[in-house]
Chains A and B, each alone.
Chain A
Amino acid sequence: MWEKKPILLLLLATAAILVGTIITVVLPFAWVNTEADRIETVTPYTALQQEGRDIYIREGCNNCHTQTVRPLVAEVLRYGDYSKSGEFVYDRPFLWGSKRTGPDLARLGGKYPDAWHYKHMASPRAMVPKTNMPDYGWLSANQLDPTMIKRKMDVLGFPYTSDELYSLADKNEMDALVAYMQKLGSDIPWRNAAATTIVGNLKNPYADSDHSTLEEWEPLYEENCEACHGEHFEGDIGPELDGASMEDTELFEIIYNGVPDNGMPPFAGLGADKVWQVVTFVKYYNQGEDH
């Protein structure tokens, strides 16, 4: 019968479409973003961070970077604590993405110092030689527009002060983007919870390696350390490395756990074995052939 009545067919089709829609799309509004999944420490974006977020959207960063860590072992190890619904209540739009051409950024905030981001954005390949990320140094040339940002904050209903807006006039788009990067995923104190505790006595299994063995570990240094500490340990974003002045175990703890307050990320993800290799390389490489 419906095959002869177009209006009936249209109504039936609409009904068929609406059943699944109401149950899986309309109904969830009763649970999601309510008090039930609110997290006390999650705050709205500041004017600078929100502008950074809009630049992230404008440049289509979400085409290559996701922003949600799944509760899977390898993923939590690689990126950090898994994402919670309450962390996204101020995100309009959501930026979870669908493809990781580059790494996930949900827990990027606080991982690196600001200086790392400025250098990396200006020339990603200077830091990570084989990356395919385009350069974004040109963002530094664009000043922010406080009037427009005020309108945005008003629409979003986020709190701001006039001093805060006033200070934006001296900032550029790169400042905003970096401020946003540092906010990502850092509203909950997951880093403390995720910090590893080293148990037992530490002993460098490679302490007696000869110089040629050390050279085999150079790529590890190049990939993980060189961008901040320089090609010859001379330092750049991070301090100059004078390995000889520290105990092996001290170096191990710094590299393994990082020094978050000083911008040194933890490298526990490399595994203890590789961290010992880096320790040995940093400490003994410059001490010459005798070791």
Chain B
Amino acid sequence: MKSTEYNYDIVRSFVNWSVLWGLVAVLVGVIVSFQMVDPRLNFPPYLTFGRLRPIHTNAGIYGWGVGVIFATFIYMVQRLCRTPLWSPKLARFQLWFFNATIIASAVTLLMGYTTSKEYHEMEWPIDVMVVILWVVFALNIIMTIIKRREEHMYISLWYMMASLVGVAILYLVNAAAVPVSLFKSYSAFAGTNDANVHWWFGHNAVAMALTAPPLAMFYYFLPKSTGVPIYSHRLSIIAFWSLLFMYLWTGAHHLLWTPVPDWIQTLAMGFSVMLIAPSWGSVINGYLSMNGQWHQMRENYLVKYLILGITFYGLQTIQGPMQAIRTFSAFIHYTDWVPAHIHMGTMGWVSMICFASIYYLVPRIYGKKLFSIPLANLQFWLILVGQLTWSFSLWIAGVLQAGMWTAMNPDGSLTYTFMETMVEMYPYWWIRSIGGLIYFVGVVVFIYNLVMTVRHGEIASTEAAAEGRA
């Protein structure tokens, strides 16, 4: 079947917009990080840390993350099913509705219309928009799968479908609220129940939006980039089903030592540790797929991104379960260690995979050779160094902070006041901001490279572009 029948127009649009929202997410992140070191950078009422930080996180998750999910899923589903997209019109609607949703989110969050629930701050009218968006998207993907011309469904399709149902269930339940007005609602759940429902959502949004989709991309783009298949099909089956089953039990590890019933906390702790197995199932499957191909780490920038990405996934899924253990959580929770952990996942694992996927896609969907591989390599080092600077500074800060919070004098009193511990954070927060800036420069290089590819890239047929790895 000729690739010309595939619908690449819509993939292009989603790539372009998601990259723009990604830039916004990183830029706002850098701004709020400077607000933390100097409060004079807050400009009330709109531009304060309290209102901007949700814009950073939601632009990252829904603008960049979900935007790339839309782009890559629509590309992968057509290739893996050997059939054009079920409804290009619906996809076009989805694109504009997606952008409308992101813009509406940003504006309402700036105005202070927020539910306060982390990663789900948008008020109920935007929840309705997100639900419509997801239903339209899921319908298009599932219908394309149903009318596929390739009987066997590849691993990536499993993860895609799991993500489609998972996100739907999580988002709907956690959005339950009673509206007071167009811009204000109260949660349908109260207190401890609300906390438990919310962190079931919070943690599994990470599973269904920021783990399953990047794994779908990894399982597709790694073999495509290296030219050799995934090492073990059986391992990927075990990893898939056990990941899907175990993730949902673990939300309460965000609530250790809170009034949430102990047995829920204990289950969350146990399942979090068990999750190491399916997570590392995918990591090891990725590594073993590189047997005899490790030289490609040197020759093929795509492989470098993908393998570093899956490595950060491996580190993330060791560190996460460690934090989910009561004793360690008692020490580290609520400190700056936690954002360091999250940013290894988002800047390291998820974004590395997204960058690789887009680098793979752009030459093929535009029919042009990548403008500059050296620039792609430069970006790799910028985002790697930026992210490591970011995370290491706050890991150190978090341990210091935790140590000072718990330090006690021989007479049983606390050694430090809260302000004494906060003052110690400032140097680390500065280093973090510098890390963020380096990462931001990396993203700018990325966008420059893409723009130059589209504008001035050497024209090539998609087949030839596909050969143009090196």
A and B: real partners?
yes
Residues of chain A touching chain B, judged by Cβ–Cβ distance below 8 Å, are 3-4, 6-7, 9-10, 13-14, 16-21, 23-25, 28-29, 31-33, 37, 54, 57-64, 66, 68, 70-75, 77-78, 83-85, 87-104, 124-125, 128, 130-136, 138, 148, 151-152, 155-156, 223-224, 268-274
In this complex, what residue of B is CB-closest to A74? Answer: B406
Given A4-B152, A93-B116, A13–B244 Cβ distance below 8 Å? Answer: yes
Q: Is the CB of A151 within 8 A of B36?
A: no
Taking a contact as CB atoms under 8 Å apart, the answer to whether B198 and A93 are in contact is yes
CB of B338 closer than 8 Å to a CB of A: yes
Whether the pair B186, A57 counts as a contact (CB closer than 8 A) is no
For chain B, which range describes its interface: under 10, 10 to 19, 20 to 34, or 35 or more residues? 35 or more
**A-B contact sample (17 more), CB < 8 A, given A6-B161, A60-B54:** A13-B244, A24-B196, A24-B248, A25-B196, A58-B112, A70-B258, A70-B330, A72-B406, A73-B408, A94-B191, A98-B118, A99-B336, A100-B335, A131-B39, A134-B42, A155-B186, A270-B413
* Chain A residues with CB under 8 A of B113: 58
Cβ of B259 under 8 Å from chain A: yes
Given A3-B153, A10-B165, A99-B338, A60 and B248 contact (CB-CB distance below 8 Å): no
For the complex, give the distance between the alpha carbons of A21 and B173 in Å: 11
Q: Does B151 contact A (CB under 8 A)?
A: yes
The reply to whether A59 and B196 contact each other, CB–CB distance below 8 Å, is no
Contact call B44/A78, Cβ cutoff below 8 A: no
12 of the cross-chain contacts (CB-CB < 8 Å) are A4-B152, A9-B158, A13-B161, A31-B261, A57-B116, A59-B50, A59-B112, A70-B257, A89-B191, A99-B334, A134-B39, A155-B180
A24, B411: Cβ atoms closer than 8 Å: no
**Could you tell me the distance between the alpha carbons of A291 and B249 in the complex, rounded to whole angstroms?**
65
Are the CB atoms of A28 and B339 closer together than 8 Å?
Answer: no
B39 A132 Cβ-Cβ under 8 A: yes
Question: From DSSP, what is the main secondary structure of chain B's interface residues?
Answer: helix
Asked if A63 meets B54 with Cβ closer than 8 Å, knowing A83-B258, A156-B186, A270-B417, the reply is yes
* A152–B184 touching, CB < 8 Å: yes
Is B205 located at the chain interface by the 8 A CB criterion? no
- Decide yes or no whether B384 CB sits under 8 A from chain A: no
Q: Is B192 an interface residue (CB 8 A)?
A: yes
Bound: A14/B241 CA distance, A: 11
Question: Does the CB pair A93–B115 fall under 8 Å?
Answer: yes
Q: A91 to B118, Cβ gap below 8 A?
A: no
* B53 contacts A63, C-beta separation under 8 Å: yes
A63: contacting residue among B50, B165, B169, CB under 8 A: B50
Q: What distance in Å separates the Cβ of B382 from its nearest Cβ neighbour in chain A?
A: 27
Q: Pick from A70, A156, A223, A274: contact of B419, CB below 8 A.
A: A223
A104 to chain B, nearest CB (A): 8
Q: Is A151 within 8 A of B180, CB to CB?
A: yes
Interface string of B142-156 (1 = CB under 8 A from A): 100110000111000
Q: Chain A contacts of B42 at CB under 8 A?
A: 134-135
B251 at the interface (CB under 8 A from A): yes
Tell me the complex Cα distance, A151–B180, Å.
7
Which residues of B are found within 8 Å of A64, using beta-carbon distances? 49-50
Contact A93 B44 (CB under 8 A): no
**Are the C-beta atoms of A19 and B248 separated by less than 8 Å?**
yes
Taking the closest CB of chain B, its distance from the CB of A139, in whole angstroms, is: 9
Measured in the bound complex, the distance between the Cα atoms of B260 and A239 in whole Å is 43
- Among B403-431, those with CB < 8 Å from A are 405-409, 411-414, 417-420, 422-423
Chain A CB within 8 A of B466 CB: no
Instruction: Answer whether residue B359 sits at the interface, using C-beta atoms and an 8 A cutoff.
Output: no
With an 8 A cutoff between CB atoms, is B369 at the interface?
no
Q: Is B249 touching A85 in the complex (CB atoms < 8 A)?
A: no
- Interchain nearest-CB distance for A231 vs B (Å): 18
The CA of A13 and the CA of B245, in the complex, are separated in Å by 8
Per-position 1/0 for B16-51, Cβ under 8 A of A: 000000000000000000011111001011001111
Residue of B nearest to A101 (CB): B36
**Closest residue on chain A to residue B195 by CB atoms:** A94
Nearest CB to that of B115 among chain A residues? A93
Cβ distance A151 to chain B, nearest Cβ, rounded Å: 6
Tell me the complex Cα distance, A20–B248, Å.
5
Return the chain A residue nearest B255 by Cβ: A96
Instruction: Please state if A78 and B414 are interface contacts (CB–CB under 8 Å).
Output: yes
Among B115, B258, B268, the residue within 8 A (CB) of A24 is B268
Mark out the residues of chain B between 252 and 271 whose CB falls within 8 Å of any chain A CB in the assembled complex: 252, 254-255, 257-261, 264, 267-268, 271
B428 shortest CB reach to chain A, Å: 12
Given A6-B145, A74-B408, A155-B259 contact (CB < 8 Å): no
The CA-CA distance from A92 to B194 in the complex, in Å, is: 8
Tell me which residues across on chain B come within 8 A of A31, comparing CB atoms.
261
Cβ of B178 within 8 Å of any chain A Cβ, yes or no, is: yes
Which residue of A is nearest B265, CB measured?
Answer: A24
Which residues of the partner chain A approach B258 to less than 8 Å between Cβ atoms? 68, 70, 83, 96
| B181 close to A (CB within 8 Å) | yes
Q: How far is the CB of A160 from chain B (nearest CB, A)?
A: 15
Q: Enumerate chain B residues within 8 angstroms of A77, measured Cβ to Cβ.
A: 408, 412-414
Q: Which B-chain residue is minimally distant from A58 (CB atoms)? A: B112
B247 at the interface (CB under 8 A from A): yes
CA distance A147 to B335 in the complex (A): 40
Contact B422 A132 (CB under 8 A): yes
Least CB distance from B220 to A in Å reads 15
Contact check, B178 vs A271: say whether CB atoms are below 8 A apart.
no
Distance in angstroms from B240 CB to nearest chain A CB is 9
**Which among B36, B45, B184, B193 is the interface contact of A138 at CB below 8 angstroms?**
B45
